[in-house]
Structure formats: structure tokens, C-alpha cells
A and B are shown apart, each in its own frame.
Chain A
Amino acid sequence: MADLTRLTAAEIAVKVASGELTAVEVTEAHLARIEAVDEKVHAFLHVDREGALAQARAVDEKRERGEELGPLAGVPLALKDIFTTQGIPTTVGSKILEGWLPPYDATVTKRLRDAGVVVLGKTNMDEFAMGSSTENSAFGPTGNPWDLTRIPGGSGGGSSASLASFQAPLAIGTDTGGSIRQPAAVTGTVGVKPTYGAVSRYGMVAFSSSLDQGGPCARTVLDAALLHEVIAGHDPMDSTSIDAPVPPVVEAARNGSVQGMRIGVVKEFAGEGYQAGVMQRFNESVELLRELGAEIVEISCPSFDKALAAYYLIAPSECSSNLARFDAMRYGLRAGDDGSRSAEEVTALTRAEGFGAEVKRRIMLGTYALSSGYYDAYYGSAQKVRTLITRDFEKAFEQVDVLISPTTPTTAFPIGERADDPMAMYLADLCTIPANLAGNAAMSLPCGLAPEDGLPVGLQIIAPAMADDRLYKVGAAVEAALTATWGHPLLEEAPSL
């Protein structure tokens, strides 16, 4: 029998719906794969074997009763451990939440369950989604399936690695500054950060509320679109959720084309710090798009050079407040409560013990940026930069339909290389951050391997807010053309584990 873990989500869904495959056998195949390889990869923090099989059985029974199945019913999925799952551990990669069993499901979790998607388990991540390498997880790093000594990106490294190692055909990530797109880029997978507000944040543990956005991760553009449609849509539990129809992303993914489109190349995303092989593959992609009938326009976004600085003020500021609730009083870790210490002392001891270095660093940075006397210079100015970046995008989208750039300046770097150099680590998100600040939709998809290290390179596509379908239209066209050139999907070149 063919290896079920090599099928795409779209293929699995069709086969389960027709009865050619049962959801249970698909789930068992993926659980077996996890069993076989995850010791090496460490993509999962928690595997919910029983829950997954129960969910799969429910899908099969539904089919047997002749009821209609959703477009992804019976397809296994790896869920980033930042979404609450009722009665199933949710750690956000942090020791401070070890052992917490949420009493409620995130809206995304609920929608997945309602759609018959089989949640295999919860994936590893940088603690509280702060990082670009998954090395900041309190539970140990995740390896990149292309080279286990290298990072799988972050914060959603568990999700990207689970896809690239064929442990799951679908995964969910969250993207605050690039945490879906950068892991996708360095693992040769597809990741989409939808328009801010497209996917409910209810039950998604907050890092930076005005930037965080959940989104689909997959191995193909169509799979990402199918997942996008399942999780997106208005949620009255999230005040910042968009109350409008979801753009026709699946239709766009099925009809990839760039014929007659105007595509902008962001001038600022090149030069020093960009790996030669990354630029080479990117430039080839630009040529490819031209050949496919797109008009290529060079676009300048002068304020983007302050995006990283603004991001490292806004995100820490919001996180310093969002993470204040971890105080050892109502849930999670409580340290040092020996009966003699005050609540205040126990809170401070618990937070010192429960949070890792990067989280502490950002909490302090945010506390600083918001404190009286510094607010205007730092937080206030960062908000102005945000306006300028939004204006740059608005001007660009008057001229072009989408913008493109490399997703990240380099390929996957070795685990440990940037671990104690925060500024070097932060550069990994240079190209992805502007879309978070302005709320635009953006995608990363593989565009080849860098010649010098044989590691995947990501192409980033950015669309205006609410025009998520354009990502899929362009992405599907690029994917089809490249796959034809390569003769097979890029991931087939990954080493077998």
C-alpha cells in the first residue's frame, strides 16, 4: 500500500469522502510516522493518540451514515501548542503552563473539530511564540527535517517540521512577526498569514494582540487554501475579527495564474545580510513570474527600514501586559510558596522560574517602552512608524496587485548559532514584519534550494488586507511552474529520516 503520509490533504479528503480510505487508517498511518520519526525531529509536545482516533472514527461513522463530510474531514493536522484545547495540555512552549488543562477550546480548535479535521497533537514552538528558531521552547528544540542540526524556523518550528517530515499533511501556526512564514521558508513548506482579523484569536494565547494572527501551514498551496477556509471567518468572541465573507481562497488556489498581474519587487529587501543563494532563487522566481505573464515593477517602501525597530517595541510592549496574568494565583506553575512568602514574592519567583530568557527579555523591554517618561519616544514613535509602513503599502498597492520578496534573508541556520545574540536572531524576521504591522495578508512558499547549502528558500507574497485570495492565485501559479521544472515537489528532495 502506498505511503499515506505522502498524500496531500486534498487527496486524503477526497479518498476519505469516497470511502477509498478510512479516516482511521489515515490517522493510524500518521501516528505511526510520528512514532517512527518524532524522537529525532521533536515536532510534537503532546500527541493525542486516543483523541485523534476517536475523531477519525467519528468521521468514518458519519460517512457510513451517508452524511455529508466537510472538505477536510478525516485529514490529520498538527496544532501549534498556542491554541487552547479543552482537557488537552496547552503549554505555549513554556514551563509556566506545564500541566495546564484548559477548560475551553479555542475557536480555531472548535472549527477544526467541527470540520472533522483530526487533531493529532500539539506542536513545539518558541516559548509564547517569541523567537525564530524554536530553540526558546522550554521543552527542547525541534530539528529541521532537511538537516536535524539546523533550526526549523520559529516560533512555529514544530508545525513546519511536522509537515516537512510527513508527520502531518496540515498544521496550524500563528504569525506575529513571521512565525508561520519563516518556518515555512526554511523547511520548504507553505505558510500563510491571513489578513489580521481573518482568523479568530479567541483561545490563541496572546503574545502581541495587535499583530498575532493564526493561519494555515501545509505542503501545497491548495491544501493551505482548504485549511484557510475552514479556520477563517467572523467570530463574535473576538472583537477584532473581520465581519465579512472570507475571500475565495480555494477557488484562487485551483485557478493559479499571474497572467496580466502587476507584481512589485520590494527594493529594500536585498543587499547586506541576504545570502547569495537566497537572492539567486528569488531572482529566478521574479524571472519566472515575468515568463508566466506578470508585469514586474520595482517598488520602494522607504519606511520598511524602521519596521524591525517598531516591531521590537510594539510586540514586547503588548507582551509585557499580556503575560502579566501568569502570576501563580489561578493556574499554571507556582514556585516558592512555602507559607512564609507573600503573593507578590511568589509571583516574582514563579515568573523568574517559569519564563525563559527571551520571554523575560521581551517583558522587560516592553515594560521599559511603556513606562512613564519613555512612552512617547518608544511606543508612541513605533505607532507612528506603523502608520508610515501602512502608507507605504497603500502606495505600493496603487501600483501593483501583490508584492514579493525573499521570506527570510538566509536559509536555516544551525541550532545554537544565534541563541545568545538576540539582534542576530531578530533579523530572521526582517522581511516578514511589515505585513504584521500593517495587517496585510502574506504567504511563503518554496522557490528552490540555495546552491551553497542545499536548503530551502522561501518566496514571500504580500497582498492587501482582505485580498488573501491573490496570495493563492499567485502562489498556485508559481508552485505549478516550479514543480514542473523540478519534476516533483521540492520536499521529495529532503533526506529520509
Chain B
Amino acid sequence: MTVTELVSYEDAMAAYEPVMGLEVHVELGTKTKMFCGCSTTLGAEPNAQTCPTCLGLPGSLPVVNATGVESAIKIGLALNCEIAEWCRFARKNYFYPDMPKNFQTSQYDEPIAFNGYLDVEVEGEIFRVEIERAHMEEDTGKSTHVGGATGRIQGASHSLLDYNRAGIPLIEIVTKPIVGAGEKAPEVAKAYVTELRELIKALGVSEARMEMGQMRCDVNLSLRPHGAEKFGTRSETKNVNSLRSVERAARFEIQRHAAVLGGGGTIIQETRHFHEEDGSTTPGRVKEEAEDYRYFPEPDLVPVAPSREWVEELRAGLPELPRVRRTRLREDWGISEHEMQSVLNAGAIDLISATIDAGAPADQARKWWMGELARRANEEGTELAALPITPEQIARVCALVKEGSLNDKLARQVIEGVLAGEGDPDTVVEKRGLKVVSDEGALGTAVDEAIAANAAIADKIRGGKVAAAGALVGAVMKATRGQADAARVRELILEKLGVEG
């Protein structure tokens, strides 16, 4: 890996203005592929979901999935786009072993949706991201590289192809150049992808799970000196596959471009790869010749001309959009806009909402997801939703706290146990023996022992210094390894010493 010299973000911002373009691919959650009836269910054995069409066998032909088109129109409408009255599929011709026909059936100059926008919020401010287009296309197969180090393509002796994913419907959403975000550009990028993901999920057209590759982002970035009109040369960082990475990739490229430009160099237009480990990007393979995709209208398909009645019907059926929903939830949960923004950034809205639906109080649900769990996700560099714990399990923990069988500290340990794969909350409580000690006899003994061992403190309390009781509570908690209800311990101490609480 080549070492890239960077300049500090502040220095980069002092000299240049970033211009971004974001291309997001969303895998639709249709039952079948875009052009054939093969199932799209995850987890099938290799090549078990293929047919002549998605294997590109000679003689096979595509037929458009109506739900794929419907989903594309819904996305377009939710992004405030115009919906084409007449559009076509086109062939994008290039050779690659993961693409069975060696052309991708996509849309070119006639996308189904175009000219829209999506408002995103960064630190309480609304930023409008303009949408160039949203178009339909198909996914490629999956290759596994064998024989090289750690399954990477470089050094591999050969590759193995599974075409189950080939032909799964994709919607590609392309922004217009995003200008004017200034130093907030990386946050805007993240906020845009976050908002887009919320939107896609709300529409019910995809689960949009980035960690599963159901949503993938390419970050195009260029810098221009402050005041310049002309855009600089851009780099295209491919497959940036988490919300956090989108921000990091943009930030890294800003610093790298600034370093190259500041050193008198020029940026070459190239594809770059993002590395999760250190947040850096490296150049892709240098191609001898520029790509020439030789687009032309797909002759095996006829044009798509959505009737205006259909479009209006779909528009009328759009669900509550995420920003509207967030306002409603924010009021329900009684939190500030700023707090809601943090919840959104953490990707926790649905998780908290589901936890509440499973019976937890709003403040408790939010406390766990935004506290303990967000910390864990951050430590592990993963999405909150990817943690191996469910909203139902968190709700159960909350219920155990409420009924008094767990205190806060024990609850934390239960969650730890669930995350460690020890089972559901009740199993963890059982296995780890994490019940609050409520046996009055045992507790009474522990209190007596603590009083006997701390005679001086006990005297102070008897003398009216009630605040000193904390020290004895601590001793009892220590003796019971934290498994006592601290409030009850305090009551017992004061009772035994004959002091009013």
C-alpha cells in the first residue's frame, strides 16, 4: 500500500472548497430478480438461484419485474423527482466475469426518475442535496478469490463465481454536484446517506442494510480553490459501505487532494478503494485505455412508460416520510432536536422505536441504545443494527429492571452477556447468577457485618450525619458483589441504626 501524505483537515479547508457527488446503489427487496423469476432470498447455497436468464445463457431473454419498476418510481417520488413518461433500458457493455452477459442491463440517458432533492439536517441546519437521477439496473454475481493472501484479488490463483446475486434489482441514485457544504462536507455526505437509508426503509422497498451490501455508496470528490468556478478533477472512491465510512472517506480524500494539489501535483481521475481499517483510500487498477461502455437501447426490452394515473396512485400511497416521522417520534419521546439528530446519526431510530413497541419506556430504550450499545458499536467499528442484540431483548432487560430483579449495574452485565452470545436476557441472568439479593435475612446479615466493621462511621450516622450512610451502602454492595438493591440497603442501615431517612 502506498503511503499517502495528508495535510490537516483545517489546512485543506483553508485553501480549498470540496465538491462532492454521491452515487448510492440500493438492492431492492423484491421477491425475484429484476429480469427473471429467480428468488432473491439470502443465504441460499451457491448458484441455487440461477436460471438461463441470470446466467446469461445463449438464447435467454429478460422480462422486467413490475415491482422493481414500482419501487423505482416510489423512490423517485420520495426524492421529489420527476418521473419519466417514457424511458428505456440500455446496455452498458464491458467484460467482467461476475457479469454473465458481459453487459449490464441498466438505464443510460433515459432514467425513470430525475431532477429531485433530499433535505438533510446537519447540526440543526437543513442542507438540500439535489438529485440528478435514480435509475434501474441489475447487480452482478459474487466472486471469491482463492490462493492469494486473505481472499484478496491480488495474488489469487483463481476465482470462484456464485451468480445468486446476479440480476438482483438495483436502484442507482446519483446526486448533482454537492457544493457549498464547506467544512461540513463529510458530515453532509454521511447525513445524506443516512437520510436516504431511512427513506428507503420507510418506503419498504429495501431493508437497506449497508453491512449486508444492500446499500453501497461511491464517493466522488474534488477540490477547487476558494472562489474558483471550475470544478477540480475528481476521484471516485467505490464501495464505501457504512455510514461512518462515508464520512471518513470524504474526509480522507479532502486531505489527500489538498496534499497533492498543495504540493503542486495534479489529481488524476481514477477509481479508489476505501479501507475500513485505517480510513484510507488507495488507487484501483490502472487501465490502459479509457472505458468505452458503448451504451445503446436494450433491444430485448420494450420501453417503460408509467401512466400518470399509476404515478399518482403511488404518490398517494407514499408512507410517512422519515423527517416527518422523526418529528412525531421526537415529540413522543420528549427529546430535543439535537438529541434526535444524535439518534438519527447513530442509526438508532428504528431500534429505539422497536424497543418501545416491545414495552420499554422511551427514556430507557434511548438510554441503552445511545449509551452502552452505541459505545460498543463504536468500539467495534460496526453499525448499531449489526450488534447481536435485538430491541425485544433490550425491552426485556428494561422490564427486569422495572420489576426490581435487576439494577442498572446488573442490567449492563446482562446486556454484555447477550452481546457475548450467552443467550437471551433471562438465560444470562440465570447463568451468571445476576439477581438482585432481595433475601431480607441475607441482606440483614450483610448490613450487620458492615456496621460492625465500620463502627466509627456507624456512630457518625447515629449522630445525625445521614450522608455518611453511603459508605456503609458501598460496603454492603461490595459484600454482595453488587447484587443488592442499593435503596433497600440504605433503608435497612438507617433502620438498624435508629435514624430517620
Contact = CB atoms under 8 A, between A and B. Distances in A.
Answer yes or no: A and B touching, Cβ < 8 Å.
yes
Interface of A: 83-84, 90, 92, 97, 100, 102-104, 106, 201-206, 208-210, 236-240, 317-318, 320-321, 324-327, 329-331, 339, 343-344, 347, 367, 370-372, 375, 379
Nearest to A83: B59
Contact of A92 (B58, B61, B102): B58
B66 interface: no
B159 A343 contact: yes
B299 A325 contact: no
Nearest to A240: B302
B59 A202 contact: yes
14 contacts: A104-B59, A202-B59, A209-B300, A236-B63, A237-B63, A239-B64, A240-B301, A320-B93, A324-B102, A329-B161, A330-B56, A343-B159, A347-B95, A370-B93
B97 interface: yes
Contact of B58 (A97, A237, A317, A318): A97
B57 interface: yes
B294 A367 contact: yes
Contact of A205 (B59, B103, B292, B295): B59
Interface string B335-359: 0000000000000000000000000
Interface residues of B, number: 30
> What 9 pairs across the A-B complex have the smallest Cβ distances?
A324-B102, A370-B294, A209-B299, A210-B299, A203-B59, A205-B58, A325-B56, A84-B59, A205-B59
A102 B300 contact: no
A106 B59 contact: yes
Contacts of A237: 61, 63
Contacts of A325: 56, 58, 100-102
A239 B61 contact: yes
A261 to B, nearest CB: 33
Given A317-B296, A324-B101, A90 B58 contact: yes
Given A236-B63, A327-B95, A103 B58 contact: no
Interface string B42-61: 00000000001001111111
Given A90-B59, A239-B301, A370-B93, 14 more contacts: A84-B57, A102-B52, A102-B57, A106-B59, A206-B58, A210-B299, A237-B61, A318-B296, A324-B95, A324-B102, A325-B101, A329-B161, A367-B294, A375-B294
Contacts of B322: none
Contacts of B299: 208-210, 240, 318
B62 interface: yes
A320 B301 CA distance: 17
B160 to A, nearest CB: 11
Nearest to B294: A370
Interface of B: 52, 55-64, 91, 93, 95, 97, 100-103, 157, 159, 161, 292, 294-296, 299-302
A61 B386 CA distance: 62
Contacts of B63: 236-239
A202 B60 contact: yes
B327 to A, nearest CB: 44
A303 B172 CA distance: 41
Contact of A370 (B55, B56, B296): B296
Contacts of B100: 325, 330
A331 B100 CA distance: 11
A324 B59 contact: no
A102 B296 contact: no
A201 B55 CA distance: 17
B300 A324 contact: no
Interface centre among B62, B100, B103, B294 (most CB of A within 10 A): B294
Given A237-B63, A239-B62, A325-B102, A103 B292 contact: no
Q: Is the interface of A mostly helix, strand, loop or mixed?
A: loop
Nearest to B36: A237
A193 B296 CA distance: 26
Given A206-B59, A379-B296, A239 B302 contact: yes
Contact of A239 (B59, B295, B296, B300): B300
Contacts of A201: 61
A88 B137 CA distance: 33
A330 B295 CA distance: 24
B439 to A, nearest CB: 69
A287 to B, nearest CB: 41
Contacts of A92: 58
A74 B206 CA distance: 52
A347 B301 CA distance: 27
Nearest to A84: B59
B103 A321 contact: yes
Given A240-B300, A371-B294, A321 B58 contact: no
Contact of A327 (B55, B102, B292): B102
A240 B63 CA distance: 9
B208 to A, nearest CB: 29
Contact of A324 (B103, B292, B295): B103
A386 to B, nearest CB: 12
Contacts of B157: 339
Nearest to B63: A239
Contacts of B301: 239-240
B143 to A, nearest CB: 10
Contacts of B62: 239
Contacts of A343: 97, 159
A286 to B, nearest CB: 36
Given A325-B101, A343-B97, A371 B292 contact: yes
A371 B94 CA distance: 12
B294 A102 contact: no
Given A92-B58, A321-B296, A329 B52 contact: no
A203 B294 contact: no
Given A370-B296, A371-B292, A327 B59 contact: no
Contacts of A324: 93, 95, 101-103
Contacts of A320: 93, 294
A110 B93 CA distance: 31
Contacts of B292: 371-372
A73 to B, nearest CB: 26
Contacts of A318: 296, 299
A344 B97 CA distance: 9
A83 B59 CA distance: 7
B61 A103 contact: no
Nearest to A202: B61
Contacts of B102: 324-325, 327
A103 B57 contact: yes
B443 to A, nearest CB: 72
Nearest to A82: B59
Nearest to A203: B59
A97 to B, nearest CB: 7
Contacts of B294: 320-321, 367, 370-372, 375
A237 B93 CA distance: 23
B56 A204 contact: no
B293 to A, nearest CB: 8
Nearest to B101: A325
A210 B294 CA distance: 17
Contact of B55 (A83, A203, A208, A330): A330
Contact of A104 (B52, B64, B91, B159): B52
